[in-house]
Amino acid sequence: MVLQIDLSEQNTKLVKTIYLVDKEQKYYGLVGIRPSNVMNIASIKETKANGTNVEIYFNLDGAKKWADFTKQNIGKSIAIIIDDQVYAIPLINGEIKQGIAWITGLNNETIAKNISESLNMSIPK
């Protein structure tokens, strides 16, 4: 069987998950997203690995953008994508005014540490 998907009319892009999605741990997932670069690396002040999670702290401009975005999108999901891979698809439960975002539930602490270090090295000084 061949699955054919026409994404051209919906401005949709397929992005691979960083995590395996099946019980046998053989397959990655594909997520259809409608790209809209809400936040970028210039909005981040620093990140920290905390167990299997990554804490993202925004600068003042980034914190305002994040608060506005989360306020306008309560009840919707957002894909957290780094280097064209989906790391998380959290549901926005409410406005986040503290200027912090989290990537949670990563497979292990090494992945969290690598993501945090990679993001911190990319932050413009």
Residue 20 domain flag? no
Starting from the edge strand earliest in sequence, which strands make up the sheet with 44-50, in order?
44-50, 53-58, 100-103
More confident residue, 15 or 8: 15
- pLDDT digit string, tens, across residues 63-118: 999 999 999 999 998 888 888 888 888 889 999 999 999 988 888 899 899 899 98
Confidence of residue 3 (pLDDT cuts 50, 70, 90): low
- Whether residue 16 contacts residue 29, with contact meaning beta carbons closer than 8 Å, is answered with yes
Q: What CATH number is associated with residue 94?
A: 3.30.1360.200
In this prediction, residues 30-42 reach a mean pLDDT of: 85
Q: Is residue 87 within 8 Å of 106, Cβ to Cβ?
A: yes
Taking the whole predicted model, whether its pTM rises above 0.85 is answered as: no
Could you tell me if residue 87 is inside a domain?
yes
pLDDT number for residue 71: 96
In this structure, which amino acid lies at residue 68? D
pLDDT band with cut points at 50, 70 and 90 for residue 59: very high
Specify the number of domains making up the chain: 1
Question: What is the pLDDT, as a whole number, of residue 107?
Answer: 82
Burial of 56 (0-12, 13-18, 19+ CB in 10 A): buried
- Per-residue exposure over 101-121, b if at least 16 CB sit within 10 Å of its own CB, e if not: bebbebeeeebbbebbeebee
Q: DSSP state, 51?
A: T
Rounded-to-integer distance, Cα 24 and Cα 67, Å? 39
Residue 2 lies in a domain: no
For the cut 90, the answer to whether the pLDDT of residue 37 exceeds it is: no
Q: Which range of residues forms the domain containing residue 105?
A: 39-122
d(CA 74, CA 125): 32
pLDDT band at 4 (very low <50, low <70, confident <90, very high): low
CA distance 109 to 25: 19
